Structure 1
Amino acid sequence: MNKRLDHNKRTEAFFLSNLTAAALGLTILNTNVVKADSGQTAQETAQKLDKNQTETTSTTNSIQQDINQDTSVNHDEISNSKNDKKVDQNENVDSSQGISEESPSKGSAGNDKPEAITTKPEDKITTKSLVKSKWGNVDVDYDTDTKTVTVHGSTDKDNPTIVNNPGPLCSSINAQNSTNASKAKKIIFDGHFKIVGEARSVFISFSSLTDIEGLENLDTSEVTNMYAWFCKCSSLTHLDLSSLNTSQVENMASMFEGCTKLRDLNISKFDTSQVTDMSYMFTGCNSLEELNLKNFNTSKVTDMSYMFAECSGLNKLDVSSFDTSNVENMSYMFNYCASLPNIDLHNFNTKKVTDMTSMFNMTYYHISDTGQAWGWNTQLTSLDLSSFDTSNVLTMAQMFFRCTKLQSLNVSSFNTAQVQNMDDMFDDCESLSTLDLRNFNTTNVTSMASMFRDTRDLINLNLSSFNTTKVKNMGCMFYHYYQDGKLKTLDISNFDMRNVENCGVMLYGLNELLVLKLGNNVKDFPKMELETPGIWLNVGTGTIQQPEARDKWSSEELMKNWNGEEETYVREVTLKVHYQDENGKSLAPDETITGTYDTSYEAKAKEIPGYMLITRPKNASGRIGENTDDITFVYQEIANNGGIPIKVGNVTVHYEDENGNQLIPNVILSGNIGDSYQTEAKSISGYTLKSKPNNATGFFTSQNQNVVYIYTKNTQNTQNDKQPENDSKNNSNHSSDNTKSNRRKNSSHKTSKKANEESKLINKRNKVRRQVANKSSVAKEKTEILVQTGRDGKSQVGILLLGVLAIGLSLFGVKIESKNKK
């Protein structure tokens, strides 16, 4: 019975499994049926579309037949209009007949012609706006309505239309028609072309052009000249020229000149290995912010004049890979690159350069029909030209003109033996404080007009090497328009001015000049218009600090009375000392300090009843010439019968290592406001003083001050600096011993000998502890291994017993089953 029941259960399970499989199969089958139905619907839809397309084709053929029957329509004009409509993106017309795809196949009222022709004027065929012309041997259409120029070429890429030595496209259209093609907004190269030979100014003067389509259809592999290709295309914003082959081009001068709105230019694949002329190449591209010229091969270039002139928006330019070994002209090369913070020119080879006129001139000047515009701007702060070889340069006029933010300029290695013109060379370099010209050779210079004009921050200038025997023009050489020249000393004693024709206002505006050296060959001194205030004293047999002072003249008297002999004059300087409260009210009569250049001085504070000094000026002491400003001591009133409403700040002296860790206790200094303080370095065992602070000496103020001495650890560690390797593993007793030993070390009453004995004792104890710790560690490891081995043995026995028990139970089960069968 049981067997039957089991059999029935197995049969039921089998039946249910089959039933489930059948259900799943039906489900899958149903999905396929649905898909088949969908496919059928799509097929029917496609048939309907094919039917509509057939009807549309029929309608189109009917329209074409009607047009052909219309004898009033010129067939050539229709053909031209069709071609024009195909490329007219502005009108969005796709059909060659000007019919919308949604137009009905028949017109109303039984008219076979579609209503689209009569009801949609914008789709009518017109030829009035189409101007036909030739560009060399190529057909060109210009649609004056859509402002589109279409250049027609071959449809066979392997047999392109050959264009030999083509000229300007715009001029060709204008010359053959009374139109203005410069207003064209789009140019399309429809077909394939191969341009051969010189292709000068191809796109020049398309001032409204915004798009060029089909540049990839131009084969330029045999073009030798690309002069001014995109010159004056002032509306272009994007140009991708990666498809152009420039391997044979020799001239790229003015190629992008005047592309004022060009922001994106891809010329990364240009092959410039044959180019000799890159002058004016990017002139006026003031919207460009970055230029990738890393792949430019400039080994044959001889002219780079104006190459980046007026690229005022350019803030990133890498010309470090340029080979300039054959360049002869670099005039105006970086003129008005107003946004460049620096220019890396250390790889420039300038051995053959003869012209560096205005190379870094930061001004612009334009003349147009509406007037003229000029100005300047710059972000350039430093220039290192120490690698320049200027041995063949003939002119450096205006080389750094109006580099107003230039703070560092290295021209110390310049060889100027051949230079003839230095006009305005450093004019308006108003942020330069120093300039090393000791190696300048000016033997052949004929003009130095305005050479140092308005260099207002220039303090010292050594021109002892200058040879001026050929100079004819020194007008405005040191002129300062705002009378703010900071130049302290000027030596023109070796100037030979016998050939100078103009030295007008040469010294005007040098209001802080303190030393002036004149020589026998200086002439027309009154014309130089020296107007420096104060009294000039002749040095004579004395010194600059203690002049002979036989002559005591104003600037006007000096120019009038100087006898033309070599002499040094120093200006007597009077420093005013003021004593004021916080509101600028005078509390005591002013004092004066008088002296000449480089004379030391010290102004002293006064005791003013009822007031306490709170600010001692930084220029209270120094040397005349370093600072000629007034000296002002500031006081605060004492209130409440001697109560001082001022908290005097302390000076805290710190002694630290390089990581800011304190090495010895701080020293705190106190005193009265205005009093001077002085700190000193300490000798610290195992350390060496690394830097002394700038405020090691100073004055007490109302604010707290910190003076930090920094030390560096000696490279050789002493025995006391060594630490036990296992400090972190020592027991608490060891930690306690260390604490005690540290306390003993820090106790001020311990003698050096006793400290050394304690140190030896501690090291000995540490050694014993390490030995004990090592032995203990080995014993512990052996114990752990034995314990682990015991655990592993017990685990193996347990597993074995479980296995035997499982086998026994299995045999017992088999035996019971055999009995049941019997």
Structure 2
Amino acid sequence: MKKMTQAIALSTIVLGALSPTLQVIAETPKIAESPAVTTELSSENVEVQADSNDIASGTFGTAPWRIDSSGVLHIGAGTFSDTPVNQNGLRMSPWYQWSKQITSIRFEGDVIAGNILSNLFDYLANVTHIEGIEKLNTSHTTEMERVFGGCASLTSLDLTSWDVSNVTTIFSFLNGATNMESLNVSNWNVSNMIAITYAFSEMPKLKELDLSQWRLTPLYSAQGVFMGDSSLEALDLSGFDMTQLENSWITGYEMSRFFQNTTSLKVLKLSDKFRFWVTDSVNVELPEISANNQYTGKWQNVGTGSLTHPQGADVWTSKQLTQSFNANAKNDTYVWQPYTISAGDVTVKYVDTKGTAIADDVIKSGNIGEAYTTEQKDIPGYTFKEVQGDPSGKFTDQPQTVTYVYEETKDQSTVIVHDSELTVGEAWQPEDNFDSATDYYGNTVPFSEINVEGQVDTAKAGTYKVTYTRFVPNLFSNSENQGTYSAVATVTVKEAQPVKGGDITAKYVDTEGLEISDDVVKVGNIGEAYTTEQKDIPGYTFKEVQGNASGKFTAQAQTVTYVYTKNELPHVSGTVLVKYIDTNGHSLSEDIVKSGAIGEGYSTEKKDIKGYTFKEVRGNVAGRYTNQVQTVTYVYTKNKSISQVTATPQGEEKDPSASAKQKFLPKAGENEGMTLISFILGLTFLALALFGLTLRIKKIKK
């Protein structure tokens, strides 16, 4: 067993020294022309259907896979076989030869991993995203070497869904994932894991890695585990038991390069089971810390302090830490020791108003720049008055003083009440007017110790006096807290103030719901009475009322509708005469006579009269016919003319022939004469034509 162990360790060292990268070949690759391969394990699984444009396709175990034309590796449901071994003895995935063409991975069905998952996605340097990784069941897997080795384009990976309880080795698991920024393996059960060489190496962009829940006991190799993780800031290795590592054939190589180039690592949590396997020539290569104005260049255990203010006694360089820890291994956290300078003390004084000390001083010490706080004390017989100086602040190179000033306690007995007003009907109880009470020393006295005299009748308006009393008997002749303390509260009960109610709107309509008279709106306060009135409306007879004609105002608006029937007056009509005149009263257009049944509505219209501008209307433009003749007069103003030329309105085109046409148009009265003359001449010509035709016919017969 010892020889076998040494052989395994030696092979691991050699592989690690040469390169943490391995190459693998495909198991059953098929070209694009391969027929479609589908599989179904459950209703949730998606079939992987080969396409004529696919780069490649095949089957890994029973799980179909294909690489589409855009570089997506699709993996369908099934069971993976162990990653196959090529003729050179190296494991290679089925899709390795197309590794440069694959840009992303998508699990489209549930997949059960084989015992050996090593090199599954090795050297897929262009893969930026893996979708459905939680569908890969790793519960039976024991070897997971270089599963994501060389995945240089991956930036994040969450593997918390993986069951790795049977995994024994994660050699170079993520080695070379140079763009990885977010990795989550926090909940892994690593109880069977014995080889972790290069597991998380060469991820220079990874700042955080939570391993606080890991309970790990490596047996064979733990080289270069965090090598090259130059951005990693903190590690919790308190669950790493490094006591069981077997000695390699070259002492010190068991953990060689464990922390190489972890130049940002500032916080390291260890346990009494952690060990640094080092020699003078071979060690874990924990980087030395550069001393500056923030850090001393050494590690310090936190002890009873904090991460920012460690208080431990171990103050070591990186080399000293790796060489000295084993001798006194402890459960503690080591941090970069901050550079501090002792500051002047802060003295806290407690005095009365005369400056006499009434309590011991408190001295606070610290380093320059650190924060301090001081506390106000409760001092019997005294009451705090003020603080002089800064009660909190930062230590400086100068001593500081903070002084708390107190006044000697005097009788602070009080009973405080307040006056109030109520409305008739409101509830009241004595506590409502009580504010507070204190005893001699200012301590709060509960209401239960207060005697109340007087009552308030909230059913009746009036002014009521209520006395609140605290009586302290003189039980001891030297007692300071004695006597009677009281206060009187005045409670005024007033009648309830009126509240405006919703309006009452009375409407007057005909049987068709048309308004026949103006609405009447009534206003008042809630609870007040209202009444509405029926109107006498000419041409109509009251029929009914809808709603409450009388009642009380409420918070809501109410409507009362009076309905009327139109009177039948078939032989009675009214007349409206519409006139159009100028400002001198001369008619400009024919009058219009409108007539209709009394009570019916009428409307009149304004005319556009050439040469005149509308000025005003006299009378009701619209209304209802009555038994009286009504007149509506539209008055116009004559337009002014300039040199007998009528201006063309702006924006209208002027007809060039308008003046010529106007020139030859007959004047009023000429048109009838011309028509008569034309008619007589026509008859004359017709008679002459008939006479000539008769003579011609007689001549022909002869």
TM-score range with shorter-chain normalisation?
A: 0.3 to 0.5
Structure 1 or 2: larger helix share? 1
Higher CA-based Rg: 2
Could you tell me the TM-score, scaled by structure 2's length?
A: 0.38
Structure 1 or 2: larger strand share? 2
| Greater relative contact order (CA < 8 Å, ≥ 6 in sequence) | 2
